[in-house]
Structure 1
């Protein structure tokens, strides 16, 4: 790859889906078109263009991850305006990790949707690309305000994708979803304004350097801002008690949309890690006192509530939706331990849970489609047409979600438990993680026994088996999750290095701001440099 092209690679994950979405809109609407005619040809072109774009995006993300793994921290100032005055995109190990994960989810989900779901509504592929643009931009942005901008891009796309295929239940939960996210967006702006009022900047690199030097009054104001933003990010991540909207919303969405949404909760986790973990972490002085004592118990409560919801679920999509809440609780529990080892466990388990949950959302629809009138309800129904294959996939996903060895869920939880050793909350962390894993296994075993054992009669139809396209799309994220076990050692080295890089504020500041941080750096208040308070 030429040096000139490599220099512009950090902006490609944002521009590629944006330009693809525009091209798809120019191609024209194909929603609800019959098989044949111009509409069907437009749909085929839209599928190929969208799949090609996501595949290219995956290759770009892998290339950025390779550069990040070599220790390179890339800052891309848009329009050559230097940070902190201009917009900057930053590719560090964490951003590259999330970009690769997002692409690894998007590609099989898009392949699954191309099996027929994309024709059930208007502009599916364009909206899908806009959602990817928002996701990638949120992972790459180097300042708080543009994090808000990319949040809004992905949320606006998600509003329409949630209603894809229509239906009364989707409209019902969609209204609540839109209303709550609009409230969250308003709070996000309030929190960002308070951050700027207390520090004089919204740039992540500059914030990390200024926050430890704030005076008492500014630190108190920043604590208020941090509390507001924790509510916003906690809502996006489905942290208790802010995540009760998620199960009904994800369960109502069509399978490929719900699978894509599995990465959306991780945007909230990412924002908590980037802002509260790094900027307001242990080195932030008085400003860090607000959220550190609260995050860990709230995360553990999230896991407990999630597994109880999974045990009480009466439909397959709602069961998987509650398992999403369980995974978020486990991830945030590791984040709340505030150590490099725990953050490494956070990143490894985050990748595993996202891939497995995405695969499960697609898998449960394949199972439901073969159960006749019982469909997605957890009641005895007709025998599925592919019991061996679907049962094996369900068993593999269930073992990984529950944390059975040697699957990646076990490795991630083991990393978490080891990182909790010696922590004041060690007993609580061990008890919740192990207990939730056991209850998760019970809930999935119950579901599996109903789906594959409590059956009667013949399969619905001889041709009821899932198509190769849908099977391949469903198997891909599940196998990618299993691959995390085979590559556990190099991946752990990467996540260990990522956690250490996140704690190196000065290196991040030099890469983004271009100069070494001054030891007496203070927020802008109009006083000359070096002036005291």
Structure 2
């Protein structure tokens, strides 16, 4: 059964390679095969979610080289959850791309599938160096996707994105080299054993490597002051690419959760909870900066891009509480923000296509042809993003607030999250009132009519905010179990002692 662990990697890999060889095939055929690949990848992720729900750790050792010497994939509740979140988002983004944006370049579907390949490797790998490899795979694909369609408006933001991430990759490589030079391993389970045993004279080198890793993951997550590249890059990307990129920042957050609970967690001796004292205040400042950016946004896509930064700050603030309740609440919020923000990028693109030369700018324009549907979708997405009842964002933020222990930390968290939510609501209210209510006389050519695939894909991602509320009980139980598993790394460390054909029990 452990061979299932390779499915989320092999499916997009083979699908992407097939797309390369089919570059000159009819676009409709390439679309059909690409969508089939994404559906199969999501199906494999759902199978793995069912397997991980029993609390066991499953390991796949390539070439039967056992850890810590071989390359291993590790499945637990967190990895399975991230695979499903990515698979669902990717499916609806891929469907939306068939509206025409996939035809602007010959390699869109190949890049899209290679992006999913890198994401899935990152979530499943049990080795720090292979996490670096996964980052490089997904980043190379993301460079192509970001520039997809051409145009000078994407060149400069894309250049900033490329340069900053290349710097991050260099720091990543240096930091893992520093850690390896002392511990002699990069297998994460083995690192959890070796780091507490580091001698005092070697401790500063490992500590420096660990802090550099945190900076790299912070760059990937777009935490302040490493976030200013994101709004322009996301706002200038095509809608399905920007929507898929909603999960890109979550890779950095996943890496922080994985590495800093397993390798530098409570059991890490002198390096226990490395960098966590900085994470909480920086997260709150990131959240506040995201709110300021949202208030000043002049276009809907920029507003949603700043929402990504708001969500990063909120997620890392919950993780920075350093307790299972905060981690569980963060995972619950991650579901809401990834899907809803992805859906908002798609809805905003539909809005822009019905406003003529005004596009997605927050200015008055002639009335849209599908104003009722689009205004309802925007309202639902804004409500979920701002954390207003009765949608999932409200319950997610409530869980985060409840996770705080009474004291100074709780006062800061409650103040910034609640005040930030209020001003986020103002930002969305301002944008919605101008775009949907303050219309002017005139006529826009009816070229932005909604087709069934794009309507369903955008609506489905927004509607997931309702589905999360309906399924809040099972989802909360799963995130609680995931948080408990993360904060008790003994089970993960136990993978070193078992063959790849067995399963480690919780």
Alignment of 1:115 with 2:110, yes or no, is no
2:200 aligns to what?
Answer: 216
Partner SS state of residue 217, structure 1 = coil
Alignment of 1:49 with 2:60, yes or no, is no
What stretches of structure 2 of length at least 5 have no aligned partner?
A: 500-506
Alignment of 1:419 with 2:403, yes or no, is yes
Alignment of 1:50-449 (within 5 A): 50-288=34-272, 290-449=274-433
* Contact kept? 1:239, 1:328, Cα under 8 Å: yes
Deviation, 1:462, is 4.4
Partner SS state of residue 242, structure 1 = coil
Partner SS state of residue 263, structure 1 = helix
Residues 328-385 of structure 1: CA deviation (Å, up to 9, x unaligned) = 0000001111100100011110111000110011110100111122111111111111
Q: Distance in 1 between matches of 2:478 and 2:407?
A: 24
Deviation, 1:421, is 2.8
Partner SS state of residue 158, structure 2 = helix
Of the three residues 7, 13, 17, the one matched with 2:12 is 17
Of the three residues 2, 13, 17, the one matched with 1:7 is 2
* Contact kept? 1:20, 1:50, Cα under 8 Å: yes
Partner SS state of residue 74, structure 2 = strand
What stretches of structure 1 of length at least 5 have no aligned partner?
A: 1-5, 30-38, 516-533
Q: Distance in 1 between matches of 2:263 and 2:463?
A: 35
Deviation, 1:289, is 5.3
* Contact kept? 1:370, 1:464, Cα under 8 Å: yes
1:453 aligns to what?
Answer: 437
Alignment of 1:514 with 2:494, yes or no, is no
Q: Distance in 1 between matches of 2:407 and 2:269?
A: 20
Q: Distance in 2 between matches of 1:315 and 1:219?
A: 48
Partner SS state of residue 202, structure 2 = helix
Deviation, 1:482, is 2.1
Deviation, 1:469, is 1.5
Q: In terms of Rg, which structure is larger?
A: 1
Q: Distance in 2 between matches of 1:275 and 1:459?
A: 55
Q: Distance in 2 between matches of 1:219 and 1:201?
A: 15
Q: Distance in 2 between matches of 1:141 and 1:496?
A: 22
Deviation, 1:459, is 4.9
Q: Distance in 2 between matches of 1:288 and 1:222?
A: 12
Q: Distance in 2 between matches of 1:85 and 1:423?
A: 45
Cα RMSD after superposing both structures: 1.3
Partner SS state of residue 186, structure 2 = coil
Of the three residues 456, 476, 479, the one matched with 1:492 is 476
TM-score (norm: length of structure 1) = 0.92
Give the paired residue count.
Answer: 499
Partner SS state of residue 283, structure 1 = coil
Partner SS state of residue 267, structure 2 = helix
Partner SS state of residue 362, structure 2 = coil
* Contact kept? 2:126, 2:188, Cα under 8 Å: yes
Q: Distance in 2 between matches of 1:512 and 1:301?
A: 39
* Contact kept? 1:205, 1:513, Cα under 8 Å: no
2:463 aligns to what?
Answer: 479
Change (3 A) 1:48 1:512: farther
TM-score (norm: length of structure 2) = 0.96
